[in-house]
Each structure stands twice: as C-alpha cells, then as structure tokens.
C-alpha cells in the first residue's frame, strides 16, 4: 500500500504543478482550489507512504513522478519543447525512479 500511496501522491503532484499555471498567481478561484486540494492530498499520501518507506526513496520517487509527469503535460498540452535532449533527460529520471523502487528496502 505504501508504494500505491506514493504513486498516487506523485500523480497528484503532476495535477497541482500543472494546474498552478492556471491560477494566475492564485487570483482565479477554481484553478486555485484544484491546485490547493491536490497539493494537500499529495502531501497526505506522501506522508502515509513515508511511514514505511525510507524518506530519501519516497521523496525522490514522489518528485521524480512529479517532474516527469509535469514535463510530459507541458510538452503534450502546453506547447513546451519536444526535443531529443528533453526526452533523454526524462528517460534518465524514469530510470532513477525504477531503480529506487527495486533497490529500496522497506
């Protein structure tokens, strides 16, 4: 359950980080509420996962999922660059996340 909580927390990080762009400095209520709600939910699930996972592993995986997911959202939906160098860097982050998952002791 700890890894499931961590993965969901990471996916929620993608939502809040991506929706942050639409808050217009927290002046738009709906995007602001979505951002705050998903941020809080993400932190709660991260905290639950860290009850059993090492903090370094949990935090690295959480931020890694957030970074990769947000970069993909930016490239696919927000018109951000889609070049080979960016793809290689994202792939390296994914490799690090997978490596942490399979080398992490509980």
pLDDT in tens, 26-75: 999 999 999 999 999 999 999 999 999 999 999 999 999 999 999 999 99
Q: What is the band of 88 on the pLDDT scale with cuts at 50, 70, 90? A: very high
Spatial distance between the Cα atoms of 82 and 99, rounded to a whole number of angstroms: 25
- What's the pTM? 0.86
**C-alpha distances out from residue 101 to 57, 75, 94, Å:** 8, 26, 11
The mean pLDDT value of the chain amounts to: 93
Q: Give the confidence band of 105 by pLDDT, cuts at 50, 70, 90.
A: low
Helix axes 55-77, 84-103, angle to 10 degrees: 150
User: For residue 101, what pLDDT band results from cuts at 50, 70 and 90?
Assistant: confident
Q: Report domain extents, the chain.
A: 2-103
pLDDT of residue 47: 98
For the chain, the distance separating the N- and C-terminal CA atoms, rounded to the nearest angstrom, is 12
């Amino acid at each position: 359950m700890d890894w499931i909580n961590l993965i969901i927390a990471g996916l929620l990080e993608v939502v809040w980080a991506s929706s942050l762009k639409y808050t217009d400095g927290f002046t738009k209520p709906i995007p602001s509420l979505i951002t705050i709600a998903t941020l809080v939910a993400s932190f709660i699930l991260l905290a639950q996962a860290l009850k059993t996972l090492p903090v370094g592993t949990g935090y690295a995986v959480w931020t890694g999922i957030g970074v990769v997911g947000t970069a993909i959202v930016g490239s696919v939906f927000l018109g951000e660059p889609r070049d080979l160098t960016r793809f290689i860097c994202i792939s390296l982050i994914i490799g690090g996340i997978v490596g942490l998952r399979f080398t992490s002791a509980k």
